[in-house]
């Protein structure tokens, strides 16, 4: 039996608009633009017969699936798909110092040092471990259509784990607010059908 997994990033927050780094410790709601985005997403996909909806444990993710919960679709809050911890970068404007710490981390991850992290933050290894656990559970579930809302870096890791790609492949996957990745799983292989799709916003 084939199943489809619709995975999308949360709507915009003020931190997104102001180009500030969020991460796991920044638990803010969507802004007006973000609510507009998730409402458009709902109107576009409300007729898909989702059997279950997953979100992270952060407000911006829970709010992004609120309209689907109104349809009485079972909702599971799963901290395994929460955003990565950016350590000392969290809550900071993306200035030169913050971006340099971020670039060093990305460079280390690309070079295979997956245990590296921004001071006080989470490593690629830690993120991979919790995302892999989530992916294995999703593959075993019986629902044929699954909706998942998560965060930018967690989404990138989800894509690589579903496609069995190396951690270094994360950087090639973009993630707009409410951008959606559609996967199909036939019990053996996962196929990517849509990538960062924002048709619902047009």
Is 36 domain-assigned?
yes
Is 162 domain-assigned?
yes
Q: Is 75 a catalytic residue?
A: no
At which residue do the structure tokens 């993710």 appear? 61
Q: How many domains does the chain have?
A: 1
Is 102 domain-assigned?
no
Catalytic pick from 10, 114, 175, 200?
A: 10
Is 59 domain-assigned?
yes
Q: Is 83 a catalytic residue?
A: yes
pLDDT surpassing 90 at residue 105: yes
Domain that holds residue 154: 3-84+122-201
CATH of the domain at 72: 3.40.50.1240
Average pLDDT over residues 22-35: 97
Is 104 domain-assigned?
no
Is 58 domain-assigned?
yes
What percentage of the chain reaches a pLDDT higher than 70? 100
pLDDT surpassing 90 at residue 117: yes
pLDDT tens profile 161-183: 999 999 999 999 999 999 999 99
Non-local (6+) Cβ contacts of 72 within 8 A are none
Q: Give the span between the Cα atoms of 102 and 99, in whole angstroms.
A: 5
Is 50 domain-assigned?
yes
pTM higher than the cut 0.85 = yes
Non-local (6+) Cβ contacts of 17 within 8 A are 31, 33
Alpha helices in 57-171 (DSSP H): 59-64, 66-69, 96-110, 124-140, 152-162
Is 89 domain-assigned?
no
Catalytic pick from 12, 63, 83, 90?
A: 83
């Amino acid at each position: 039996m084939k199943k489809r997994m619709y995975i999308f990033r949360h709507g915009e927050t003020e931190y997104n608009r102001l180009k500030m780094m969020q991460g796991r410790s920044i638990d803010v709601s969507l802004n007006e633009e973000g609510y507009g985005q998730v409402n458009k997403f709902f109107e576009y996909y409300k007729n898909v017969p989702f059997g279950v909806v997953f979100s992270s444990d952060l407000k911006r993710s829970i709010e992004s699936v609120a309209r689907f919960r109104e349809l009485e679709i079972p909702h599971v809050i799963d901290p395994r798909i929460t955003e990565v911890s950016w350590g000392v970068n969290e809550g900071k404007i993306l200035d030169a110092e913050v971006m340099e710490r971020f670039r060093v981390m990305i460079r280390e991850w690309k070079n295979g040092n997956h245990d590296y992290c921004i001071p006080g933050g989470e490593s690629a290894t830690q993120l991979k471990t919790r995302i892999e656990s989530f992916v294995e559970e999703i593959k075993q579930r019986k629902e044929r259509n699954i909706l998942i809302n998560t965060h930018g870096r967690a989404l990138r890791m989800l894509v690589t784990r579903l496609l069995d790609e190396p951690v270094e492949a994360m950087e090639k996957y973009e993630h707009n607010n409410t951008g959606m990745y559609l996967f199909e799983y036939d019990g053996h292989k996962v196929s990517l059908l849509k990538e960062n799709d924002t048709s619902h916003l047009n």
